A and B are shown apart, each in its own frame.
Chain A
Amino acid sequence: MSVESVQTALGTEHAALWTYGMVSAFLNDQAVAEGANLHRARRDTTERWLRDHGATPNPPAAAYLPPSPVSDGPSALAALVAVEQDTCAAWRGVLERTDDSSLRTSALEALTTAAVRATRWRRAAGSNPASIAMPGVASG
């Protein structure tokens, strides 16, 4: 059901916001602040959508566990890539579970912008390829 998938997407937005805050200790980059702002805005609109549909938005966790420990610039970039790719997967999941065209539009926008940020961070990390052929797909 779409409410459940939107809750999952909200969960990844909470995790992304937390991760952007955490990595700011290791990355002195304007794009970190920008990414945090965009995830904050997305979190707010997602919470509003859930309330408008009679659901209680899930609260954020106290902390999130990045796939590998973050202790320097490269590991901070890896955490950002991971959290953006999780965000892509969650919003793709929303696309697959709703016929509501305005929700589709915002899910597509969230998927696309997360894919672009993931690409930027992969590029900054020197990953090859930096691009992601199918964002939101596990193997993509």
Chain B
Amino acid sequence: MGRVISESVSRRRVLLAVAAAPLAVACTAEPPPPPPPDPLSALAAQARADVKLAQALTTVPAAAEIAKARETHASLLQAEVDRERPPLSSTAPPAPTSPPTPPDPLAALRTALDESVREASAVVASLPAYRAGLVGSVAAGCASLREVLA
């Protein structure tokens, strides 16, 4: 019997504590600073933007393989971002807002790929080793794509 009473008391206490906890947190603790953005998130966004750019280039034969490869990069990078920091809800990453079609889309894609090689390469040095391989392959992949567009 005694055991039952003490259990019910403790349950009540727990309930109280649970109910009060958010209040206490709200009153005393400062909200934790948001974690710095994942550098791979920017690389994934860049890959998605390159896909859009390449898809607009219907007359260039290599554009289709570039769009496909950058799609692969985007999904691999996004998967790693989500693995490390699972998204709170099922919010898909924002679709890149279609920028106005540049006057010379082919030149724009070349520039974008050069930029993608540079950005991915710059990030490699500061990543944990298990991510460095992934981003290194993305950088080398962009250099390979640049080669078929040469």
Contact = CB atoms under 8 A, between A and B. Distances in A.
A135 B135 CA distance: 11
B136 A133 contact: no
Interface residues of A, number: 34
B124 A140 contact: no
B65 A120 contact: no
Contact of B140 (A99, A105, A115, A129): A115
Given A104-B124, A133-B73, A98 B140 contact: no
Contacts of A91: 136
Ranked nearest first, the 7 interchain pairs of A and B with the lowest CB-CB distance are: A96-B133, A133-B69, A115-B140, A129-B65, A135-B140, A119-B147, A119-B144
Interface of B: 62, 65-66, 68-69, 72-73, 76, 117, 121, 124-125, 129-130, 132-133, 136-141, 143-145, 147-148
A99 B129 CA distance: 6
B143 A116 contact: yes
Contact of B65 (A101, A108, A131, A140): A131
B129 A115 contact: no
A91 B137 CA distance: 10
B138 A105 contact: no
B143 A96 contact: no
Given A120-B147, A133-B72, A115 B141 contact: yes
Given A93-B133, A112-B121, A133-B68, 7 more contacts: A115-B141, A116-B143, A129-B69, A130-B147, A131-B145, A133-B69, A134-B76
Interface string A71-95: 0000000000000000010011101
Interface string A109-122: 00110111011100
A75 B41 CA distance: 41
A136 B148 contact: no
A129 B148 contact: yes
A111 B140 contact: yes
B83 to A, nearest CB: 16
Contacts of A101: 125
Given A96-B130, A104-B124, A136 B144 contact: no
Nearest to B71: A133
B147 A134 contact: no
Contacts of A119: 144, 147-148
